[in-house]
Copies of this chain bind each other. A is one copy, B any other.
Amino acid sequence: MTKEEEEFRQLLKEISILDELEQLLDWDSQTHNPEAAAEMRSDVVAYISKLSVDRQTSDKMAELLNKFSKNPDLLSEDGKKIYRRVNREFNIQRKIPNDDAAEYSKLLSKAQAVWVKARRAKDFNIFKPYLKQIIDFNKKFIGLWKTTEQTNYDVLLNHFEPGMTVAKLDPIFATLKQAIKTLMNKLKTGIEPNDQFMHRYVSKVTQEKISRDFITRLSFNYEQGDLDISEHPFTLGLNRNDARITTRYDVHDFQMSLLGTIHEAGHAIYEQNVDPKWARTTLSGGTSMGIHESQSLFNEIMIGRNYYYWIKEYPRLRELTGETFSDIDFETFYRGFNTVHPSLIRTEADPITYILHIIVRYEIEKAIFNDDISLDNLNQIWNEKYEEYLGICPQNDTEGILQDIHWAGGDIGYFPSYALGHLYAAQFLHAMKQDFDVDKALAEGNINLITDWRKDNIFQYGCSKDPNEILMDATGEELNPDYWIQHQNEVYKYVYQLN
């Protein structure tokens, strides 16, 4: 290794340590940090954020990246992969003045505490001034970042999914809207499953036991992570040996915590299985939000709602819940478990209408950044779109616009990743089925086969491959939404006993 690459890696080690601290502070703020400490905590977050940005945009970093751009042979093969990623981030980062970055980070820390308060009060107005400041910062940043992007919102989309644009998403979402409408209409002609039993009481203690048990058998490694409780479930990968997931429990909705935990465990096993050689290089994590979501959704939808998976797992669920489901046979359970109900809450939505939740957020974000709409009645706009697309209307802001923490955390342009995740997941499943009998593996509880495929094709690479490289290398083709549409039509044809 050249002296220059060694210096580069030393600097990245420091940035990676600071990133780990930021993750820990974030996790702690959402799980254990008392509300009264939010003000003091924001000092700490701002301090670490400033240190990190200082290192990321340092003269030393500029000098090294400049050397590498002129003389790529200073870098090893792995070093070149690191350079590509770091250089791209550097060009995004350096355009933000350090003071703005620190101020923004402090704002986000406060905004998340205020969001919790606003949710309790069910009042968007409490959160609105913070959201306004977050959006104003982002508008300012877009002005600094924008180069060849066609629209302002494209700039934000790009950060979460490199190469993604409104021009690409608009037709994909139009196709999906149509396909979902067609499918939903078909379902009306089918036999509505019995799903009353889905609301039977299951204690929080039992639900936690179920969650822990199920994700263990889905390759989540407790020696490299843990499960906690928070208002909104999330995963943070402090490092490959410390992937933390959270969930929440409702005694009359065991599916929420079970599928929620299985979802987060999909994120976590991605983090836990990145090749250790990428540790402390800043490449040790998922490559994009869309690919990350494809792995959580692969867990939740492709496995967690799979017929063959439940053939194997339903007896176990029965065993863990005593007499609760003793009168529910497997077919009844499976069909009830997959009933489609338009829901107000994205994280509780069924896999079909889920996409509509994303389209609402996408259209609102696009309007804010591309059409400069006012925030004043944003909660009403939200509610009207729910009425129009899903036929249901939130009764208050907590079940409406305040349901997700993302905006409070500055994650704008992030939501479309969830929809991309659905599409990627279906495409990965299709490719996996060319390699081995996935249904058989699920029915036999042979999850290792599936995890190994994901390790080989996705997990191990961390950020060393871009999303489209992962997709092309693993599936042999560009993003194709038809796999998702086909998959869901097959599943629901069975669940609703369609002709």
Q: Which residues of A contact B (CB under 8 A)?
A: 13-14, 17, 20-21, 24-25, 28, 32-37, 39-41, 43-44, 47-48, 205, 222-226, 228, 238-239, 241-242, 244, 279-280
Contacts and interface: CB of A to CB of B under 8 A. Distances in A.
Contacts of A24: 24-25, 28
A34 B225 contact: yes
A34 B226 contact: yes
How many copies of this chain are found per oligomer?
2
A44 B17 contact: yes
Nearest to A279: B40
Contacts of A37: 224, 238-239, 241-242
Given A28-B28, A280-B43, A224 B21 contact: no
A280 B37 CA distance: 13
Given A24-B24, A24-B25, A37-B242, 16 more contacts: A13-B43, A17-B44, A20-B44, A21-B44, A28-B28, A32-B226, A32-B228, A33-B242, A34-B223, A34-B241, A36-B224, A37-B224, A39-B241, A40-B238, A40-B241, A40-B279
Contacts of A224: 34, 36-37
Contacts of A35: 223
A279 B36 CA distance: 14
A309 B280 CA distance: 54
A175 to B, nearest CB: 43
A223 B225 CA distance: 28
B226 A36 contact: no
Contacts of A14: 47
A52 to B, nearest CB: 12
Q: Which of A33, A34, A280 has the most CB of B within 10 A?
A: A34
B241 A32 contact: no
Contacts of A228: 32
Contacts of A17: 43-44, 47
A435 to B, nearest CB: 30
A282 to B, nearest CB: 14
Given A14-B47, A223-B34, A226-B32, A242 B21 contact: no
A288 B241 CA distance: 36
Contacts of A225: 34
Contact of A34 (B32, B41, B242): B242
A28 B20 CA distance: 13
A118 to B, nearest CB: 18
